[in-house]
Amino acid sequence: MEESKDRSRWIILIIVVISTFMSALDSSIVNVALPKMARALKVTTANIQLVATSYLIVIAGVVLIFGRLGDMLGKTKMFKFGLGLFTFGSLLCGITSSFPILIIARIIQATGAAGTMANNQGIITEVFHITERGKALGFLGTAVALGSLVGPGLGGLIVGAASWEYIFLINVPIGLAALFYAFKLLPKGHKTAKGRMDGIGAALFILTIVPLFVALGQGINIGFTHPMILLGFAAAIVSFIAFIYVEKKREIPLIQLKMFENKLFSLSIFCGFISFVAIFCSNITLPFYLQDVMSYSPEHAGLILMIYPLLLAVAAPVSGHLSDKIGSELLTFIGLIFISLGLLLMSTLNENSNLLSMLIFIGIMSIGMGLFQSPNNSLIMSTVSKDKLGIAGSINALIRNLGMVCGIALATTLLYSMMSSKIGYRVTDYVPGRNDAFIYGMKIVYIAAGIISIVGAMLTFLRLKGKN
């Protein structure tokens, strides 16, 4: 009896991990296919970016709502709904030849992905005992990171071997199989939180996230001082202030702001944000360095970039298992130190750097991220009561997406502004024959990302010291 219960627990983990992997994968798998899609759908390069950005914006906008619905109606119910919607959206993406319908399908797909992302950590926290929770959340953390990082390489392989539609259609059989087992095996979860959905809070939150993400995304192209970008930031700030005001007055708010009074929860969320900002600074810069400066082919560059997720896939479950044994806080500190060291070492690269030293630096970063992610997720989920697991998981997913977008915006802004100052006129792309300018900009990006990561490590160290 105990053995079958144990087996079903791990099968539940596999269902949740596969669904999470697909949701994360679809945030990055389309990037490689965008030029082909633009030609096939007869749209401009600027417009085709909507296929990528609409997915991230919708997830960030609705993930908290799904977290709250998971606590109210049941995490399993919302997870299955999300998985079904994601699979349907994937099918629609794969069979359409119309650009507007593709964007609608991506919105449907992203809404479903938000449903799974908001409730996956809560389901695992409920199903697994505290002695195994770190290990289980470690596998989940690996799925998120692998999905985000494997995307470009896998997308390239699919587009090379078949047409772009298969990037989406590949999700359909996997999604249907996961959905079948989800209905069969996932816990029913009868205990739910009381109360209604905070509609005004949800609307204000969407009005915060959408202008913020659009301004961060478009600011890269048209400059952050453009009136439209400044208006976007202003709208986000005003909506956020109104959101906080409304949440404080609500009896049952979308987010119970008291959760942030728990210093461990707040610091773990903040460190999670910092780690994704730092790592995505590298993710956006490194492919340009490999292809433009070092003249590697896209396939060769793709293989080098795959080192990161492969090492992370090994480190994250080991780190999760260790966190069950020795606790999470020390591991998050060690992880952030490794991330900082890896980023600062990456800042020393130039056009004469050898491949081995680069792989070692990437390895240090990925082991650091692997050591940090699982224990940090464990800390976040262990600080809240069972009826708030859904909202805690969705805050974590939101912060992760926000970190990715901020990392990309920070890296591209720093890179091109430093290149512009070196060359003497404004540039927004690699300038052939000016490797010196690119390396100068890249050095500043990596140093900035390293410093951001050191701030997280120092805060974690102070918390550790205070605890002792």
For residues 346 and 454, state if they share a domain: yes
Q: What sign has the CA pseudo-torsion 246, 215, 147, 452?
A: negative
Pick the last residue of a domain from 214, 238, 253: 253
Q: Which of 192, 217, 233 marks a domain boundary?
A: 192
DSSP 205-238: HHHHHHHHHHHHHHHHHH-TTSHHHHHHHHHHHH
CB-based burial, 363-397: b 16+ in 10 Å, e otherwise: bbbbbbbbbbbbbbbbbbbbbbeeebbbbbbbbbb
Same domain, 306 and 324: yes
Per the CB < 8 A criterion, the answer to whether 79 and 390 are in contact is no
Distance between CA atoms of residues 121 and 105, nearest Å:
26
How far is Cα 272 from Cα 260, in angstroms, rounded to an integer? Answer: 14
Residue 26 DSSP class: T
Residues 144 and 62 both lie in one domain: yes
Q: Which of 192, 212, 230 is the last residue of a domain?
A: 192
Write the DSSP assignment of 364-432 as a string of letters: HHHHHHHHHHHHHHHHHHHTS-GGGHHHHHHHHHHHHHHHHHHHHHHHHHHHHHHHHHHHTS--SS--T
Count of alpha carbons within 13 Å of 418, Cβ hemisphere only? Answer: 20
Tokens of 246: 């409304």
30-42 per-position pLDDT tens digit? 876 777 788 888 8
Q: Are residues 436 and 361 in the same domain?
A: yes
* b/e per residue 135-162 (b: at least 16 CB within 10 A): bbbbbbbbbbbbbbbbbbbbbbebbeee
Q: 333 vs 219, which has greater pLDDT?
A: 333
The predicted structure's pLDDT at residue 193: 60
How many separate domains does the chain show?
Answer: 3
Burial, 9: exposed, middle or buried (Cβ in 10 Å; 0-12, 13-18, 19+)?
middle
Provide the mean pLDDT of the chain: 83
Query: How many whole angstroms separate alpha carbon 80 and alpha carbon 205?
Result: 24
Q: What is the pLDDT of residues 176-202, one digit of tens each?
A: 999 998 888 887 765 566 667 778 888
Distance CA 285, CA 185 (A): 42
Q: How far apart are CA 439 and CA 431, in angstroms?
A: 11
Shared domain for 73 and 143, answered yes or no, is: yes
What is the band of 341 on the pLDDT scale with cuts at 50, 70, 90? very high
pLDDT score, position 234: 94
pLDDT of res. 157: 74
CATH code of residue 316: 1.20.1250.20
Same domain for 327 and 401, yes or no, is: yes
| pLDDT higher than 60, residue 252 | yes
List, for residues 288-337, the tens digit of each pLDDT value: 788 788 887 766 777 787 788 788 878 877 887 787 777 778 888 999 99
Tokens of residue 116, six digits: 């799974």
Decide: 285 and 411 in contact? Cβ < 8 Å.
Answer: yes
**Do 431 and 366 fall into the same domain?**
yes
pLDDT of residue 249: 83
pLDDT of 347 > 90? The answer is: yes
- Distance between CA atoms of residues 67 and 69, nearest Å: 5
pLDDT tens-digit map of 390-416: 777 778 878 888 888 788 788 888 888
Task: Give the separation between CA 150 and CA 154, rounded to whole angstroms.
Answer: 6
Model pLDDT, residue 121: 80
Task: Please state the φ and ψ torsions of residue 84, each to the nearest 5 degrees.
Answer: -65, -45
Compute the average pLDDT of residues 146-174: 80
pLDDT of residue 1: 44
pLDDT at 114: 92
Of 313, 305, 435, 397, the C-alpha closest to 358 is 305
CA 53 – CA 31 distance, rounded (Å): 10
Does the pLDDT value for residue 384 go beyond 60?
yes
Do 266 and 242 belong together in one domain? no
Residues 121 and 216 in one domain: no
Taking the C-alpha atoms of residue 397 and residue 114, their distance in angstroms, rounded to an integer, is 9
pLDDT category at 364 given cuts 50, 70, 90 is: very high
Rounded percentage of the chain residues whose pLDDT exceeds 70: 93
- Regarding whether 133 and 264 lie in a shared domain, the answer is no
Cβ–Cβ < 8 Å for 376, 332: yes
Q: Tell me: the pLDDT tens digits for 105-115?
A: 999 999 999 99
Expressed in angstroms, the distance from the first to the final Cα of the chain is: 42
Residues 326 and 402 grouped into a single domain: yes
Residue numbers of the domain that contains 314: 258-468
Output the pLDDT for position 103. Answer: 92
Say whether both 233 and 108 belong to one domain. Answer: no
pLDDT, residue 151, reads 76
Q: How many helices (H) and strands (E) does the chain have?
A: 18, 0
> What is the rounded CA–CA span in Å between residue 23 and residue 83?
9
Listing DSSP states for 447-463 in one string gives HHHHHHHHHHHHHHHHH
Residue 124, pLDDT > 50, answer yes
